[in-house]
Chains A and B, each alone.
Chain A
Amino acid sequence: MKLIFEKSKAGRGCDILPSCDVPIVELDDNMKRQKELHLPEISETDISRHYTELMKRTFGVNDGFYPLGSCTMKYNPKINDEMAKLPGFSNIHPLQPASTAQGCLEVMKTTEKYLCEITGMDAISFQPAAGAHGEFTGLLLIRAYHEARKDEKRNKIIVPDSAHGTNPASAAMAGFTVINITSTKDGYVDLEELKKVVGDDTAGFMLTNPNTVGLFDKNILEITEIIHKAGGLNYYDGANLNAIMGIARPGDMGFDVVHLNLHKTFSTPHGGGGPGCGPVGCKESLIKFLPLPRVEEENGVYKLILEREESIGRVKGFYGNFLVVVRALTYILTLGGNGLKYASENAVLNANYMMHKLKDIYKMPFSEPCMHEFVMTVEDLKKEKGVSALDIAKALLDYGIHPPTMYFPLIVHEALMLEPTETESKETLDYVIEILREVYEEAMTNPESLHQCPKKTPIGRPDEVTAARNPVLRYHF
């Protein structure tokens, strides 16, 4: 497929802008661009066809099953977008007076209230743009907390080796030293290891629960107590909240700070589909450090708090990705409290159903019932037949199935991590189970054919190594 620049013809174009109806103001010469902009010149028909062709080459939840583990690629109900499109939400400016945007502020305050109820936190900020940004913001809160108490030797954040890679990265960015601890063979936090590393330099502990192998850590109350006794704070990575909505709350487990991924758990567009939103919630003692602006309500009037001395300041322009909050609120109101709980129960049921139907041929490194996702390993297949997790993932593409997360978590070799979510029917799950079994059979009898997959997609198997070693990042005119 040609790039849009390659389709450009000098002098061609389309009249999408109306003629100017205000006086034209010329810029001073020193402010003018010296060279012409390299913009593609192309007719509207060809633009439309170009992007339609691109669209056909993509794959989203609207195209098929998308079991990307730890990403919660659930279906995004259309009503969310309908609400986000309402002119009162979309035709506004972030700098217009608060008195003229009361509805928008009410949405933020109401969503904050609901998310506090769901997580067991006392306040929430919608500023962070996505998950890792939320982690970073949450860690800055932890840092501000210790600094305000003049407890400045606390510079270490403890992270289990099963954590998402963003956890240690965010901790390092927030100025902490990262201490990694190994997990037990069953995939849980090793309490003995944890006790060994805590001390008067412990700033905090980061955990995803259920964790990245799809297990709920049964020792969670003991874990958070160990950290609290040592004087540290507990950080909850909300990546896997989809397993426990309405059932368990991070706030009740002993966590002091959480981030959520509205774009995962609360069904707003995800990845290339739209901006994220990684709100950070915290307990009472940390509220004063939250980023600004904050929305507050007094006698039914909403206002924005723009200054507060102890605040860590802004972490993003304006108020975060507001329309994602509108979509999340729509989702919460559509499902209601019982509906959210039902969603989590079905997310867990669907994952266990798939795991159960696959475990006689795919090896499950952790045998206990899982939460909303599970990890399989094809280590044996790799050794015996030379077929890797990557080969299996590529083969699924030919059946219109998006690959699961691969090679994660790092503690499992040749890992495939599946998260079906609650929005898939039993028929879809059965189809995918059948295909996964067929692909395994093919790997056993005809391993060579799997190295060629995918065979039916617009692009076969790209050379990922060359692409990573010699990336071509822009078009050269």
Chain B
Amino acid sequence: MKKILFTKTHEWVQFLDETTVRVGLTDYAQGELGDLVFINLPEAGDEVSVSESFADVESVKAVSNVYSPVTGTISEINEELLDHPELVNENPYEAWFAEIENVSEQEELLSEEEYEQLIHEEE
């Protein structure tokens, strides 16, 4: 499996090639949110920008935004999540939200160690 990087807002990013990424929510994020009951995804073809909300997730506690770590175009969404939001709780690193292509810009991404450090500080 290709290396996974992280954002400060608790998304994970996996580069499939140099200009294409998969994005999902981290294990820590799903744990904090609790059981997800609804996921709102963008549509293929939508343009997204760095740090802009491109999806939202709803748990019994609250609705939260999911932010795009890159600027690019949505090439595919994981439609399975629409009917099965629990997949994000069960296996967060398999349950990708969207694939984004033509990535032209990315935010400063964290390595696994750096992300764990961040979580540690938040706690």
Chain A contact residues, CB within 8 Å of chain B: 165, 383, 390, 406-408, 410, 413, 464-465, 468-469
Contacts and interface: CB of A to CB of B under 8 A. Distances in A.
Contact of B35 (A165, A408, A410, A465): A465
Contacts of A464: 60
Contact of A469 (B32, B64, B86): B86
Q: Which of B35, B38, B60, B123 has the most A CB atoms < 10 Å from its CB?
A: B60
Given A383-B123, A469-B37, A406 B86 contact: no
Nearest to A408: B62
Contacts of A413: 32
Given A383-B123, A469-B37, A410 B62 contact: yes
A469 B85 contact: yes
B59 to A, nearest CB: 8
Contacts of B86: 469
B37 A465 contact: yes
Q: Which of A165, A390, A464 has the most B CB atoms < 10 Å from its CB?
A: A464
14 contacts: A165-B63, A383-B123, A406-B61, A407-B62, A413-B32, A464-B60, A465-B37, A465-B60, A468-B37, A468-B38, A468-B58, A469-B37, A469-B85, A469-B86
Interface string B27-49: 00000100101100000000000
A413 B119 CA distance: 14
Contacts of B37: 465, 468-469
Contacts, number: 21
Contacts of A465: 35, 37, 60
A469 B87 CA distance: 12
Nearest to B64: A410
A417 to B, nearest CB: 13
B21 to A, nearest CB: 24
Interface of B: 32, 35, 37-38, 58, 60-64, 85-86, 123
Nearest to A178: B53
Nearest to B35: A465
B27 to A, nearest CB: 16
Q: Which of A390, A408, A465 has the most B CB atoms < 10 Å from its CB?
A: A465
Contact of A407 (B35, B61, B123): B61
A144 B60 CA distance: 37
A165 B56 CA distance: 13
A390 B35 CA distance: 13
A408 B64 CA distance: 12
Contacts of B58: 468
Nearest to A470: B37
A165 B58 CA distance: 13
Contacts of B32: 413
A165 B62 CA distance: 10
Contacts of A390: 61
Contacts of A410: 62, 64
Nearest to A389: B61
Given A407-B62, A408-B62, A465-B35, 13 more contacts: A383-B123, A390-B61, A406-B61, A410-B62, A413-B32, A465-B60, A468-B37, A468-B38, A468-B58, A468-B60, A469-B37, A469-B85, A469-B86
Which 6 interchain pairs have the tightest Cβ spacing?
A468-B37, A465-B35, A407-B61, A464-B60, A469-B37, A407-B62
A112 to B, nearest CB: 35
Nearest to A165: B63
A177 B32 CA distance: 28
B62 to A, nearest CB: 6
B122 to A, nearest CB: 9
Contacts of A383: 123
Contacts of B35: 465
A410 B62 CA distance: 8
Contacts of A406: 61
A465 B64 CA distance: 16
A452 B61 CA distance: 19
A473 to B, nearest CB: 15
Q: Which of A383, A464, A469 has the most B CB atoms < 10 Å from its CB?
A: A469
A407 B64 CA distance: 12
A273 B4 CA distance: 51
Contacts of A407: 61-62
A383 B122 CA distance: 13
A96 to B, nearest CB: 44
A464 B58 CA distance: 13
A275 B104 CA distance: 51
A350 B62 CA distance: 28
A278 B38 CA distance: 29
Nearest to B34: A465
Nearest to B122: A413
A413 B85 CA distance: 22
A33 B35 CA distance: 44
Contacts of B38: 468
A388 to B, nearest CB: 9
